[in-house]
Structure 1
Amino acid sequence: MSSASAPTRSVDGVELPAAGTWKLDPGHAEVGFVGRHFMLTKIRGRFTSVEATVEIGERPEDSKVSAVIDVTSLSTGDQSRDDHIKSADLFEAEKYPKAVFESTSVSWNGVEGKLVGDLTIKDVTRSVTLDVEYLGYARDPWENDRIVFSAKGKVNREDWGLTWNMVLETGGVLVSKEIELVLDLEAVRQV
């Protein structure tokens, strides 16, 4: 249940979430990615098991995000592709079942911002920048306060040792190095 204080506040004339702790609702979250197959077709995947906490600061730029992604929960809609992506060729999910994100800085302007953080995959940590948009607030039928964000960013998968690929006869490679991260997140206010 939400606390008695207001779930949102005005910051420079813009409605933003109240300061405090908000937990990701995994049933209403999409933590996904888009890569290219044959450098043409978009292949989408998602992680169905993610835990995350958003600490909204008194000043929006003091906010922090931490997340743990269960790599074994990867789903692309094709079991053989999922098994290959989780295999030793790429994620090595049996050895490294979790990926971790910890924010290092936030900049904010209106309802948009940049979230910079350390993403660790296979014990390799690299900085990632996400463009974030605050989409709004809602109270659910059980009186829980919820906030909704979307975020996007691009990474080179090889930066984390995800280097498996095949060269095509016609030039290019089978799987793109550049991966787009696409997140749609709903978080619930904690008391």
Structure 2
Amino acid sequence: MTTAPIRTVDGVELPAAGPWKIDPGHAEVGFVGRHFMLTKVRGRFTGVEATLVIGERPEDSKVTAVIDVASVDSGDATRDEHLRSADLFDVEKYPKAVFASTSVTWDGRRGTLVGDLTIKDVTRPVTLAVDYLGYARDPWGNDRTVFSAHGKVNREDWGLTWNMVLESGGILVSKEIELSLEFEAIRES
């Protein structure tokens, strides 16, 4: 490569403009819901493919991601099978979820990423707060950039409406889901 893997924009070190491929071995798309509206239940999708194109202006950056919904892992095989069932993700009919960014705002090492998330053929906007964590060159000579993102969604917006009313009032599974993304991207030549 003829250009450096990092650059300075408005006095802040950021990754170089161009294409970066998310390393699936160092990426996590996680979620947290509440059980009985009290206990946090964590899960993640292990099958994620994504590309990040960093713009000359950080605001011109784009992200696309495809998630293998059947790769859901919450640490409990019975719960995972229920998540994959027609009650929730219906992976037989809808095996993939897709995210495509629509806008980026950026200030220093932080930004806001807005995009369309499609689950079960339903597309809704999602807003994520993003932090740029830094750059590293791995032992094999690959340039890597690291980001973290988080946000909240209402799962019912995508037709994920299965629930049970509790005898004491309330519902079994929270509607609000916290999203947490951690990923490394490798610079493409």
Please say whether Structure 1 and Structure 2 have the same fold, judged by a TM-score greater than 0.5: yes
What's 1:59 paired with? Answer: 57
What's 1:180 paired with? Answer: 178
CA RMSD of aligned residues (A): 0.5
Q: Aligned partners of 1:129, 1:105: CA distance in 2, in Å?
A: 10
What's 1:166 paired with? Answer: 164
* 2:119 aligned partner, one-letter code: I
* 1:107 aligned partner, one-letter code: T
Q: Aligned partners of 1:185, 1:74: CA distance in 2, in Å?
A: 17
What's 1:85 paired with? Answer: 83
Q: Could you tell me which of 46, 49, 66 is aligned with 2:47?
A: 49
Following TM superposition, by how much is the alpha carbon of 1:5 offset from its aligned partner in structure 2, in angstroms?
1.5
CA deviations 1:64-94 (Å, max 9, x no partner) are 0000000010000100000001100000011
Correspondence 1:30-179 to 2 at 5 A: 30-179=28-177
Share of identical aligned residues, percent?
77
Following TM superposition, by how much is the alpha carbon of 1:48 offset from its aligned partner in structure 2, in angstroms?
0.4
3-state DSSP of counterpart to 1:169? coil
Which stretches of structure 1, 4 residues or longer, exceed 3 Å deviation after superposition? none
CA deviations 1:127-150 (Å, max 9, x no partner) are 000000000000000000000000
Q: Aligned partners of 2:175, 2:50: CA distance in 1, in Å?
A: 26
CA deviations 1:135-168 (Å, max 9, x no partner) are 0000000000000000000000000000000000
Q: Aligned partners of 1:42, 1:186: CA distance in 2, in Å?
A: 26
Following TM superposition, by how much is the alpha carbon of 1:4 offset from its aligned partner in structure 2, in angstroms?
3.5
3-state DSSP of counterpart to 1:44? strand
* 2:6 aligned partner, one-letter code: T
Correspondence 1:7-22 to 2 at 5 A: 7-22=5-20
3-state DSSP of counterpart to 2:157? helix
Kindly tell me the number of residue pairs found equivalent between the two proteins. Answer: 189
> Where in structure 2 are there 5+ consecutive unaligned residues?
none
Q: Aligned partners of 1:108, 1:4: CA distance in 2, in Å?
A: 26
